[in-house]
Structure 1
Amino acid sequence: MIRIEGKILVDEGDIEERFIRSSGPGGQNVNKVATAVQLRFDVRNSRSLPDGVRDRLIRLAGKRVTGEGVLVIEASRFRTRERNRRDARDRLVQWLEKAAAPVKHRRKTRPTAGSRERRLEGKQLRSETKRVRKPVSPSDD
Protein backbone atom coordinates (compact mmCIF):
# COMPACT_ATOMS: atom_id res chain seq x y z
CA MET A 1 0.00 0.00 0.00
CA ILE A 2 1.16 3.49 -0.84
CA ARG A 3 -0.05 6.19 1.58
CA ILE A 4 -0.87 9.66 0.25
CA GLU A 5 -1.77 12.63 2.48
CA GLY A 6 -2.47 10.24 5.38
CA LYS A 7 -6.02 9.47 4.22
CA ILE A 8 -5.60 7.90 0.77
CA LEU A 9 -4.17 4.42 0.37
CA VAL A 10 -3.31 3.17 -3.14
CA ASP A 11 -3.30 -0.58 -3.61
CA GLU A 12 -0.10 -1.95 -5.22
CA GLY A 13 -2.32 -4.16 -7.40
CA ASP A 14 -3.61 -1.06 -9.20
CA ILE A 15 -0.07 -0.29 -10.39
CA GLU A 16 1.39 -2.12 -13.37
CA GLU A 17 5.09 -1.80 -14.20
CA ARG A 18 6.85 -2.81 -17.38
CA PHE A 19 10.54 -2.56 -18.09
CA ILE A 20 11.43 -1.17 -21.50
CA ARG A 21 14.62 -0.16 -23.25
CA SER A 22 15.79 3.36 -22.64
CA SER A 23 16.27 5.70 -25.55
CA GLY A 24 19.29 7.85 -26.20
CA PRO A 25 23.02 7.31 -25.84
CA GLY A 26 24.46 4.65 -23.61
CA GLY A 27 26.81 2.45 -25.60
CA GLN A 28 26.33 -1.27 -26.10
CA ASN A 29 24.45 -1.71 -22.83
CA VAL A 30 21.45 0.37 -23.97
CA ASN A 31 20.63 -2.08 -26.77
CA LYS A 32 20.33 -5.17 -24.58
CA VAL A 33 19.17 -4.10 -21.12
CA ALA A 34 15.65 -2.87 -20.38
CA THR A 35 16.18 -0.46 -17.48
CA ALA A 36 13.49 2.16 -18.16
CA VAL A 37 10.18 1.73 -16.35
CA GLN A 38 6.72 2.35 -17.73
CA LEU A 39 4.35 2.64 -14.78
CA ARG A 40 0.63 2.38 -15.55
CA PHE A 41 -1.99 3.34 -12.95
CA ASP A 42 -5.67 2.84 -13.79
CA VAL A 43 -7.08 6.08 -12.40
CA ARG A 44 -10.64 5.67 -13.66
CA ASN A 45 -11.16 2.18 -12.18
CA SER A 46 -9.16 2.62 -8.96
CA ARG A 47 -11.36 2.03 -5.90
CA SER A 48 -8.83 3.62 -3.55
CA LEU A 49 -9.27 7.18 -4.87
CA PRO A 50 -12.18 9.44 -3.90
CA ASP A 51 -14.17 10.83 -6.84
CA GLY A 52 -12.88 14.40 -6.46
CA VAL A 53 -9.23 13.29 -6.38
CA ARG A 54 -9.80 10.99 -9.37
CA ASP A 55 -11.30 13.78 -11.48
CA ARG A 56 -8.59 16.30 -10.50
CA LEU A 57 -5.84 13.78 -11.28
CA ILE A 58 -7.24 13.11 -14.76
CA ARG A 59 -7.51 16.85 -15.38
CA LEU A 60 -4.02 17.65 -14.00
CA ALA A 61 -2.20 14.82 -15.78
CA GLY A 62 -3.62 15.83 -19.17
CA LYS A 63 -1.98 13.93 -22.04
CA ARG A 64 -0.35 11.45 -19.66
CA VAL A 65 -3.77 9.83 -19.15
CA THR A 66 -4.97 7.55 -21.96
CA GLY A 67 -8.53 7.48 -23.29
CA GLU A 68 -9.27 4.53 -20.99
CA GLY A 69 -8.23 6.57 -17.94
CA VAL A 70 -4.80 5.01 -17.38
CA LEU A 71 -2.01 7.29 -16.14
CA VAL A 72 1.29 6.41 -17.87
CA ILE A 73 4.59 7.49 -16.28
CA GLU A 74 7.89 6.65 -17.97
CA ALA A 75 11.10 6.84 -15.95
CA SER A 76 14.49 6.43 -17.61
CA ARG A 77 16.58 8.99 -15.78
CA PHE A 78 18.80 6.45 -14.04
CA ARG A 79 20.88 3.48 -15.23
CA THR A 80 19.33 0.86 -12.95
CA ARG A 81 15.86 -0.65 -12.93
CA GLU A 82 15.38 -0.18 -9.22
CA ARG A 83 16.18 3.56 -9.23
CA ASN A 84 13.93 4.13 -12.26
CA ARG A 85 11.18 2.13 -10.56
CA ARG A 86 11.51 4.24 -7.41
CA ASP A 87 11.55 7.42 -9.52
CA ALA A 88 8.32 6.42 -11.32
CA ARG A 89 6.59 5.61 -8.03
CA ASP A 90 7.75 8.89 -6.49
CA ARG A 91 6.32 10.79 -9.45
CA LEU A 92 3.02 8.90 -9.09
CA VAL A 93 2.89 9.90 -5.42
CA GLN A 94 3.60 13.54 -6.38
CA TRP A 95 0.72 13.51 -8.90
CA LEU A 96 -1.61 11.98 -6.32
CA GLU A 97 -0.59 14.49 -3.63
CA LYS A 98 -1.15 17.35 -6.04
CA ALA A 99 -4.61 16.01 -6.93
CA ALA A 100 -5.48 15.38 -3.27
CA ALA A 101 -4.58 18.91 -2.16
CA PRO A 102 -7.72 20.95 -1.49
CA VAL A 103 -8.60 23.46 -4.18
CA LYS A 104 -8.06 27.00 -2.97
CA HIS A 105 -10.96 29.13 -4.17
CA ARG A 106 -10.22 32.64 -5.37
CA ARG A 107 -11.77 35.42 -3.38
CA LYS A 108 -12.99 38.28 -5.55
CA THR A 109 -11.30 41.61 -4.82
CA ARG A 110 -11.66 45.11 -6.14
CA PRO A 111 -8.84 47.47 -7.07
CA THR A 112 -8.22 50.11 -4.40
CA ALA A 113 -9.07 53.73 -5.04
CA GLY A 114 -5.36 54.60 -5.05
CA SER A 115 -4.48 51.96 -7.64
CA ARG A 116 -7.31 53.16 -9.90
CA GLU A 117 -6.09 56.73 -9.55
CA ARG A 118 -2.47 55.76 -10.35
CA ARG A 119 -3.64 53.79 -13.40
CA LEU A 120 -5.58 56.79 -14.73
CA GLU A 121 -2.63 59.12 -14.07
CA GLY A 122 -0.37 56.78 -16.03
CA LYS A 123 -2.81 56.73 -18.92
CA GLN A 124 -2.99 60.53 -18.83
CA LEU A 125 0.82 60.82 -18.95
CA ARG A 126 1.03 58.36 -21.83
CA SER A 127 -1.66 60.26 -23.70
CA GLU A 128 0.16 63.54 -23.19
CA THR A 129 3.46 62.00 -24.42
CA LYS A 130 1.80 60.75 -27.60
CA ARG A 131 -0.01 64.07 -28.15
CA VAL A 132 3.28 66.00 -27.95
CA ARG A 133 4.90 63.68 -30.51
CA LYS A 134 2.24 64.37 -33.15
CA PRO A 135 3.24 66.66 -36.00
CA VAL A 136 2.05 70.23 -35.64
CA SER A 137 -0.67 71.11 -38.10
CA PRO A 138 -0.21 74.34 -40.07
CA SER A 139 -2.18 77.15 -38.47
CA ASP A 140 -3.87 79.97 -40.29
CA ASP A 141 -2.11 83.08 -38.92
Structure 2
Amino acid sequence: MNKEQILKELQFKAVRSSGAGGQHVNKVASKVELSFALELSTGLSNIEKQRLRLKLGNRINKEGIFILQCDEARSQHKNKQLVIKRFFVLLKKALEVAKKRKATKPSKSSIEKRLKSKKKAAEKKVGRKKPDWD
Protein backbone atom coordinates (compact mmCIF):
# COMPACT_ATOMS: atom_id res chain seq x y z
CA MET A 1 0.00 0.00 0.00
CA ASN A 2 1.50 3.27 -1.16
CA LYS A 3 -0.05 5.88 1.14
CA GLU A 4 1.21 8.92 -0.81
CA GLN A 5 -0.12 7.59 -4.12
CA ILE A 6 -3.50 6.76 -2.58
CA LEU A 7 -3.69 10.25 -1.06
CA LYS A 8 -3.25 11.73 -4.55
CA GLU A 9 -6.08 9.54 -5.90
CA LEU A 10 -8.64 10.65 -3.30
CA GLN A 11 -11.41 12.97 -4.45
CA PHE A 12 -13.27 15.31 -2.13
CA LYS A 13 -16.61 17.01 -2.38
CA ALA A 14 -17.96 19.61 0.04
CA VAL A 15 -21.68 19.37 0.77
CA ARG A 16 -24.03 21.24 3.06
CA SER A 17 -24.27 19.48 6.38
CA SER A 18 -27.60 18.56 7.95
CA GLY A 19 -28.82 18.95 11.51
CA ALA A 20 -28.86 21.71 14.07
CA GLY A 21 -26.75 24.82 13.62
CA GLY A 22 -29.11 27.59 12.66
CA GLN A 23 -28.40 29.90 9.75
CA HIS A 24 -24.72 28.90 9.59
CA VAL A 25 -25.52 25.34 8.50
CA ASN A 26 -27.68 26.63 5.63
CA LYS A 27 -24.90 28.80 4.18
CA VAL A 28 -21.72 26.76 4.59
CA ALA A 29 -20.72 23.46 2.93
CA SER A 30 -18.84 21.90 5.83
CA LYS A 31 -19.63 18.23 5.25
CA VAL A 32 -16.88 16.43 3.30
CA GLU A 33 -17.42 13.39 1.07
CA LEU A 34 -14.35 11.33 0.21
CA SER A 35 -14.50 9.07 -2.82
CA PHE A 36 -11.87 6.55 -3.83
CA ALA A 37 -11.96 4.53 -7.07
CA LEU A 38 -10.67 1.18 -5.85
CA GLU A 39 -10.30 -0.48 -9.25
CA LEU A 40 -8.40 2.43 -10.83
CA SER A 41 -5.97 2.84 -7.95
CA THR A 42 -2.27 2.44 -8.66
CA GLY A 43 -1.33 2.69 -4.98
CA LEU A 44 -2.68 -0.78 -4.22
CA SER A 45 -1.63 -4.18 -5.52
CA ASN A 46 -4.18 -6.57 -7.06
CA ILE A 47 -4.07 -8.76 -3.97
CA GLU A 48 -4.81 -5.75 -1.74
CA LYS A 49 -7.67 -4.66 -4.01
CA GLN A 50 -9.15 -8.14 -3.85
CA ARG A 51 -8.87 -8.19 -0.06
CA LEU A 52 -10.52 -4.75 0.20
CA ARG A 53 -13.37 -5.84 -2.09
CA LEU A 54 -13.93 -8.82 0.17
CA LYS A 55 -13.71 -6.95 3.50
CA LEU A 56 -15.30 -3.60 2.53
CA GLY A 57 -17.71 -4.85 -0.14
CA ASN A 58 -20.74 -3.36 1.59
CA ARG A 59 -19.17 0.13 1.50
CA ILE A 60 -18.24 0.02 -2.21
CA ASN A 61 -20.92 1.00 -4.75
CA LYS A 62 -21.63 -0.65 -8.13
CA GLU A 63 -19.11 1.58 -9.93
CA GLY A 64 -16.35 0.34 -7.59
CA ILE A 65 -16.10 3.61 -5.69
CA PHE A 66 -15.54 3.66 -1.95
CA ILE A 67 -17.37 6.62 -0.33
CA LEU A 68 -16.88 8.01 3.17
CA GLN A 69 -18.31 11.19 4.65
CA CYS A 70 -17.74 13.30 7.72
CA ASP A 71 -19.78 16.14 9.20
CA GLU A 72 -18.64 16.01 12.82
CA ALA A 73 -16.83 19.35 12.91
CA ARG A 74 -18.11 22.77 11.86
CA SER A 75 -15.01 23.34 9.74
CA GLN A 76 -14.60 21.84 6.25
CA HIS A 77 -10.83 21.51 6.77
CA LYS A 78 -11.25 19.63 10.05
CA ASN A 79 -13.82 17.30 8.45
CA LYS A 80 -11.41 16.64 5.58
CA GLN A 81 -8.63 15.68 8.02
CA LEU A 82 -11.03 13.46 9.98
CA VAL A 83 -12.34 11.65 6.91
CA ILE A 84 -8.80 11.01 5.58
CA LYS A 85 -7.72 9.63 8.95
CA ARG A 86 -10.81 7.41 9.14
CA PHE A 87 -10.24 6.20 5.56
CA PHE A 88 -6.68 5.08 6.23
CA VAL A 89 -7.71 3.37 9.50
CA LEU A 90 -10.36 1.41 7.58
CA LEU A 91 -7.85 0.46 4.86
CA LYS A 92 -5.26 -0.65 7.40
CA LYS A 93 -7.77 -2.72 9.35
CA ALA A 94 -9.13 -4.36 6.19
CA LEU A 95 -5.66 -5.24 4.89
CA GLU A 96 -4.53 -6.91 8.14
CA VAL A 97 -4.13 -10.66 7.78
CA ALA A 98 -5.46 -12.55 10.78
CA LYS A 99 -3.13 -15.01 12.46
CA LYS A 100 -4.01 -18.66 11.85
CA ARG A 101 -5.27 -20.42 14.93
CA LYS A 102 -3.40 -23.55 15.97
CA ALA A 103 -5.54 -26.28 17.51
CA THR A 104 -4.25 -27.27 20.96
CA LYS A 105 -5.09 -29.94 23.51
CA PRO A 106 -5.55 -29.32 27.21
CA SER A 107 -2.58 -30.40 29.33
CA LYS A 108 -2.70 -33.54 31.48
CA SER A 109 -2.58 -31.50 34.67
CA SER A 110 -5.52 -29.33 33.59
CA ILE A 111 -7.57 -32.44 32.73
CA GLU A 112 -6.77 -33.98 36.14
CA LYS A 113 -7.59 -30.71 37.91
CA ARG A 114 -10.98 -30.50 36.15
CA LEU A 115 -11.87 -34.12 36.96
CA LYS A 116 -10.76 -33.65 40.58
CA SER A 117 -12.99 -30.57 40.99
CA LYS A 118 -15.92 -32.47 39.42
CA LYS A 119 -15.40 -35.38 41.82
CA LYS A 120 -15.24 -32.99 44.79
CA ALA A 121 -18.49 -31.26 43.73
CA ALA A 122 -20.21 -34.65 43.31
CA GLU A 123 -19.09 -35.78 46.78
CA LYS A 124 -20.36 -32.51 48.26
CA LYS A 125 -23.79 -33.11 46.73
CA VAL A 126 -23.87 -36.74 47.89
CA GLY A 127 -23.08 -35.50 51.42
CA ARG A 128 -26.18 -33.25 51.33
CA LYS A 129 -28.58 -36.17 50.84
CA LYS A 130 -30.58 -37.59 53.73
CA PRO A 131 -29.14 -40.84 55.03
CA ASP A 132 -30.75 -44.03 53.77
CA TRP A 133 -31.56 -46.28 56.80
CA ASP A 134 -32.40 -49.42 54.83
State the TM-score bracket (shorter-chain normalisation). Answer: 0.7 to 0.9
Query: Distance in 2 between the 1:48 and 1:124 partners?
Result: 62
Corresponding residue for 1:70? 65
Q: TM-score, structure 1 length as denominator?
A: 0.70
- Which is strand-richer, 1 or 2? 1
Query: Greater helix share, 1 or 2?
Result: 2
In 2, the alpha carbon distance for the partners of 1:62 and 1:32 equals 35
Task: Give the share of equivalent positions with the same residue, in percent.
Answer: 32
1:31-85 CA-to-partner distances (Å, cap 9, x unmatched) read 2211111101111332221122222223333432223322111111111111111
Query: Unaligned 5+ residue runs, structure 2?
Result: none
Which deviations, in whole Å up to 9, do the C-alpha atoms of 1:15-46 show, x marking residues without a partner?
A: 22111122221111112211111101111332
Over aligned residues, Cα RMSD in angstroms? 3.1
Distance 1:118 1:77 in 2: 54
**More displaced, 86-95 or 102-111?**
102-111
Structure 1 runs (4+) deviating above 4 angstroms are 118-133
How far, CA to CA, are the matches of 1:41 and 1:130 in structure 2?
65
Q: Which runs of 5+ in 1 are unaligned?
A: none
User: Equivalent residue for 2:17?
Assistant: 22
CA displacement at 1:3 relative to structure 2: 4.6
- Number of residues of Structure 1 aligned to a counterpart in Structure 2: 133
Report the secondary structure of 1:22's partner residue. Answer: coil
Q: Give the TM-score normalised by structure 2.
A: 0.73
The CA distance in 1 between the partners of 2:126 and 2:53, in whole Å, is 53
Q: Using the TM superposition, name which of 115-124 and 39-48 deviates more.
A: 115-124
